[in-house]
Structure 1
Amino acid sequence: MNISAIVSEDVVTVDIEDTILDVATVLREERVGSAVVLNANGEVAGMVTDRDLVVYGQMYADSLDQTLVNEVLTVDVVSVSPDTSIEAVTETMREEGVRRVPVVEYGDLHGIVTLDDIVVHLAGELDNQKLRNIAAVIESESPTRSADSLESETE
């Protein structure tokens, strides 16, 4: 099975010209831990995580509203195409030490796949209560699941 079946097309993105403070605001509002950074042409220029903001952004504590995200982003982004197998993606994640991988085809951002996405998918495929419990925890913490839950509560 390839990752196109589990890829999230709702990718949080920020512009390379955004400030660290802008990015932190987006991550908080979207309730996510990372964003894909796009250049002026809409191409993937890097990734930024909440950890990047804390570990590297603290060097700019006095100028968060003026320092651009390109000071803290990861530029060596590992990406995959939509037809990449789940096994190949997990191998790439392991080899590269990443948990989030943009899905890119012909330079266009199609989505993102995370380790959480893969765990939830595998829990659904395997008959294992322990995995289903882990998947339930992941889903309860997922921003999209939380937003869906909020919408259904208000209806």
Structure 2
Amino acid sequence: MSAQPGAELSVETPEQTTERLTRRGLRLAKFTVAYNVVEGVVAIAAGVAAGLVSVIGFGIDSGIESISAVLVGLRLSARLRHGKADERKELITLRLVAVTFFLLAGYVTVEECAASWSARPRRGRRSRSGSWSRRSSSCRSWRRPSAASAWPWPTR
């Protein structure tokens, strides 16, 4: 196949390709922020309505993911401006995001323990957290269980 006379082939330079892909990444980061905010609000509202700590935690996790997507967007915006991102500020922000994940894990663990110890559901019934076991796995005692309490279900 030959090119028509007068038609020029356009070839992107590496800089143009980088700019085009960076703009696409920035659009994806904006979409991710918007999606995660909506997802987080819906999940937290549903979790509060149903009394499920795991769903509330999922909603909080969506907020943390939104923060991470904002960081990606800031980094890509700096690249488009041909500037450089402030590495020190970025490192501090990434550490804060990591701390929020640990706080989220602590929140879910404490709420699950409180729910499993206060509700004490009967065998075969769901607890407030939605789990089927007698106690949350994160709240099991570290002492050796007796033979009768070793299994949360009947063995016969």
Give the TM-score normalised by the residue count of structure 2. Answer: 0.24
Higher RCO (CA < 8 A, seq sep 6+): 1
**Structure with higher helix content:** 2
Query: Which has more radius of gyration?
Result: 2
Give the TM-score normalised by the residue count of structure 1. Answer: 0.24
